[in-house]
């Protein structure tokens, strides 16, 4: 299959998943909970007030028209009003999203710079002490809940040793750098404010590691398995038999094919990190979208819940699309598989 066809196919497929997701979210939020208007106004509001709000929200219309209105709203960036903050949900999300994005981004970087090299070395030197450590890291990483990593990390490094801050994105005394990207690490660099940069870094260290633990474990194991698979292939043996230097075999023949399996699950890793953010932001009072989402859930603020979930689904579908297309670009075999 030509790459361009492959690309279009994946794009159409992603759009299909998004449409399905919007229906699913709509069903969860509009049909399951009963009456959002009643929930918003509380038990003491009169029947008349509830009816008026229902009309304002368009909830007296048939369901399919409500869905159309909902989708039209999404395209206009209108996700409704939050009962909790009395602001538009899109504004709220725009306000809270960068903090979560920064956290997950740093976590992905951890996964890539710890998990991948560690997996390559463990696969290359199978059954060595390094491989055994990688096994322990993988099992522990997957078995410890992220909030436990966060709490125990706080206990040791913040309360015990006193070298890392407990909560928040910046110390109270550090002035916020002017917002450009919303990512404090980048903003402080752009402003040339290195003390804020350092402060932001030590604040993000523990929470991002807590989020990354699961991913580090998974990617390490997967990379290890795929490296050891590739090393057992005939063409590697042939290359060795030809007397091609070991270093050359490693970098030229081994690495590229063994990166493909970890690359394809990077989308899933990203999703699980977004999920972990819901737990970790709570532990570290990280002012992000996940914490906002939890507040919305506890207070039954349905527009906000739908908005947060939609954004997460959107991010996941987008990341998976990019990852799939990349994998298809690097590895023609994936394109052929898609054809059948």
Q: List interacting residues with other proteins (CB under 8 A).
A: 16-17, 20-21, 24-25, 28-29, 32-33, 139-140, 142-148, 151-152, 154-155, 159-160, 271-272, 274-276, 278-279, 282-283, 293-294, 296-298, 300, 302, 305, 309, 312-313, 316-317
Name which of 185 and 212 has its Cβ closer to other proteins. 212
Give the C-alpha separation, 28 to 305, whole Å.
10
Name which of 69 and 294 has its Cβ closer to other proteins. 294
Helix axes 194-231, 255-283, angle to 10 degrees: 140
Distance from chain centroid for Cα 138: 19
Q: Is 309 left (phi over 0), alpha (psi -120 to 50) or beta?
A: alpha
Give the C-alpha separation, 291 to 96, whole Å.
9
Name which of 116 and 222 has its Cβ closer to other proteins. 222
Distance from chain centroid for Cα 296: 19
Name which of 158 and 250 has its Cβ closer to other proteins. 158
CB of 264 to other proteins, least distance (A): 11
CB of 145 to other proteins, least distance (A): 5
Q: How far is CA 147 from CA 39, 156, 201, in A?
A: 30, 14, 20
The SS3 of residue 81 is: strand
Residue 314's nearest CA partner among 264, 277, 274 is 274
CA dihedral angle for residue 303, residue 309, residue 311, residue 314, rounded to 10 degrees = -130
Name which of 204 and 312 has its Cβ closer to other proteins. 312
CA diameter of the chain: 86
Name which of 197 and 278 has its Cβ closer to other proteins. 278
CB of 143 to other proteins, least distance (A): 4
CB of 129 to other proteins, least distance (A): 16
CB of 312 to other proteins, least distance (A): 6
Name which of 296 and 323 has its Cβ closer to other proteins. 296
CB of 294 to other proteins, least distance (A): 6
Q: How far is CA 143 from CA 138, 146, 267, 272, in A?
A: 9, 9, 20, 14
Give the C-alpha separation, 290 to 282, whole Å.
8
CB of 32 to other proteins, least distance (A): 4
Name which of 150 and 177 has its Cβ closer to other proteins. 150
- Which residue in this structure is represented by tokens 């509009």? 30
Give the C-alpha separation, 288 to 270, whole Å.
16
Distance from chain centroid for Cα 224: 23
Burial of 12 (0-12, 13-18, 19+ CB in 10 A): exposed
CB of 169 to other proteins, least distance (A): 19
Name which of 80 and 177 has its Cβ closer to other proteins. 80
Give the C-alpha separation, 173 to 156, whole Å.
24
Residue 218's nearest CA partner among 319, 325, 103, 114 is 114
CB of 306 to other proteins, least distance (A): 8
């Amino acid at each position: 299959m030509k790459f361009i066809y492959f690309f279009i196919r994946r794009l159409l497929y992603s759009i299909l998943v998004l449409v399905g997701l919007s229906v699913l979210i709509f069903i969860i939020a509009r049909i399951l909970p009963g009456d959002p208007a009643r929930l918003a106004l509380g038990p003491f509001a009169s029947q008349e007030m509830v009816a008026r709000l229902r009309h304002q929200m368009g909830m007296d219309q048939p369901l399919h028209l409500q869905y159309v209105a909902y989708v039209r709203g999404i395209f206009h960036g209108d996700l409704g009003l939050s009962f909790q903050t009395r602001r538009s949900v899109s504004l709220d999300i725009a306000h809270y999203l960068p903090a979560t994005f920064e956290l997950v981004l740093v976590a992905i970087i951890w996964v890539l710079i710890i998990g991948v090299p560690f997996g390559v070395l463990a696969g290359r030197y199978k059954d060595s002490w390094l491989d055994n450590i990688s096994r322990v890291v993988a099992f522990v990483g997957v078995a410890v809940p992220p909030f436990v990593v966060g709490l125990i990390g706080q206990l040791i490094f913040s309360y015990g040793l006193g070298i890392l801050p407990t909560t928040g994105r910046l110390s109270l005394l550090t002035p916020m750098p002017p917002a450009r990207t919303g990512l404090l690490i980048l903003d402080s660099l752009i402003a040339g404010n290195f003390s804020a940069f350092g402060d932001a870094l030590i604040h993000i260290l523990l929470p991002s590691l807590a989020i990354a633990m699961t991913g580090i474990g998974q990617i390490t194991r997967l990379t290890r398995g795929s490296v050891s698979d590739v090393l057992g292939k005939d063409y590697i043996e042939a290359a060795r038999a030809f007397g091609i230097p070991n270093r050359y075999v490693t970098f030229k023949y081994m690495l590229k094919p063994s990166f493909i399996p970890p690359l394809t699950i990077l989308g899933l890793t990203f999703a699980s990190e977004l999920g972990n953010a819901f737990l970790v932001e709570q532990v570290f009072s990280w002012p992000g979208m996940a914490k906002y989402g939890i507040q919305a859930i506890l207070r039954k603020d349905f527009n906000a819940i739908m908005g947060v979930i939609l954004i997460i689904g959107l991010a996941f579908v987008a990341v998976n699309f990019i990852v799939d297309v990349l994998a298809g670009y690097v590895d023609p075999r994936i394109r052929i598989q898609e054809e059948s």
